[in-house]
Copies of this chain bind each other. A is one copy, B any other.
Amino acid sequence: MDLINRLLRHDPIALARLITRVENGEDGYEKILKKTYHATGRAYHLGITGPPGAGKSTLVDGLVKRLAGKTKRVGVIAVDPTSPFSGGALLGDRIRMTSLSTNPNVFIRSMASRGSLGGMARATKEVALLMDAGGMDYVVIETIGVGQVEIDVVDACDTTVLVLVPESGDGVQAMKAGLLEVADIVVVNKADRDGAEKLVREIRAISEMRDKKTLWDYPVLMTEALYEKGIDDLAKAIGEHQAYLESSGEYVEHRKQQVRRHIQSLLEERIRCRMEAKLLTGNKLEALVQRVLNKELSPFEVADRIMRSR
């Protein structure tokens, strides 16, 4: 358990090794999480999401530099397969050097997108916990906001930034995809391109139409991440959202909600495993499936029976 003690003393090498174990779901990985959980809760979790090609990585690069400053430690998790951090070059992207990789206060980790989407969501949240326990002041999670899983990941962050670009589709599409629901701050990147102001207006109009659950109204900012334009304003908006969460009491409520969801997803996973191990092994399920195909039973009746047999 030397590695765990080293992690708790903020050793980045121990952090990197433990992340690998957790990400791979190696035997005993939950023990690592149990033994480090008490040290979590300090880091501020930031989600950055948006469609491919929105320039998220460039934005993250500039933003993390500002968050880190001279004294803060920042962990970056790149879930986006097109991100240069996560080896997006393999997918045909050109290699972009990031200025972060040489900053000793910045710890970058990309998630391999092997395995199931659900497994990816689990691993991402758990790696964020390890970074938190490992002394990061900020944990920044970059995802592609296309599916429910990615939305779940960023929804668990304290502040979520949605990055759009004029050509990435209109605001109505972002709304349909559920992206605006999870956004605390909306950024229109590549704001020098045609259609940027129209997109800003659209998103503001949607914001006015929607049911307001909180007093926070997401700001819509324009950035040109490649030229580092607007990044200071973004960092400021993140700080304002953080201050809002704390002063309104939503921060505590939000953390509670995160814990509730975490417990629930762990329970679902454990129940699924137990069910698969005990009830659905061997020929039992197959025999029932065959009876359903023969129309002797419906799937609803099979589910009822298995539930009664527990």
CA distance A117 to B151 in the complex (A): 12
Contact between B268 and A285 (Cβ–Cβ < 8 Å)?
no
Q: CB < 8 Å: which of B144, B262, B295 contacts A37?
A: B295
User: A299: CB under 8 A from chain B?
Assistant: yes
A299 touches B266 (CB 8 A): yes
Q: Are A295 and B33 in contact (CB under 8 A)?
A: no
Contact (Cβ within 8 A) B172 A295: no
Q: Which of A55-63, A95-103, A187-195, A301-309 contacts B (4 or more CB under 8 A)?
A: A301-309
Give the number of times this chain occurs in the complex, counting copies.
2
Give every chain B residue within 8 A of A260 (Cβ-Cβ): 285, 289
Q: A91-B172, A275-B271 are in contact. Are A259 and B81 (CB under 8 A)?
A: no
Give A251-271 as 1s and 0s: 1 = Cβ < 8 Å from B's Cβ atoms.
010011001101110111011
Within the complex, which residue of B255, B263, B298 is in contact with A288, where a contact is CB–CB below 8 Å?
A: B263
**Given the interface contacts A260-B285, A263-B285, A299-B266, does A293 sit within 8 Å of B255 by beta carbon?**
yes
Where the two chains meet, the residues of A that have a C-beta atom closer than 8 Å to any C-beta of B are 30, 33-34, 37-38, 40-41, 52, 81-82, 91-92, 117, 144, 146-149, 169, 172-173, 176-178, 252, 255-256, 259-260, 262-264, 266-268, 270-272, 274-275, 280, 285, 288-290, 292-293, 295, 298-304, 306-307
Assuming A263-B292, A270-B303, A271-B271, what are 9 further A-B pairs, CB within 8 angstroms? A34-B298, A34-B300, A37-B299, A41-B293, A82-B176, A92-B172, A255-B293, A263-B288, A267-B275
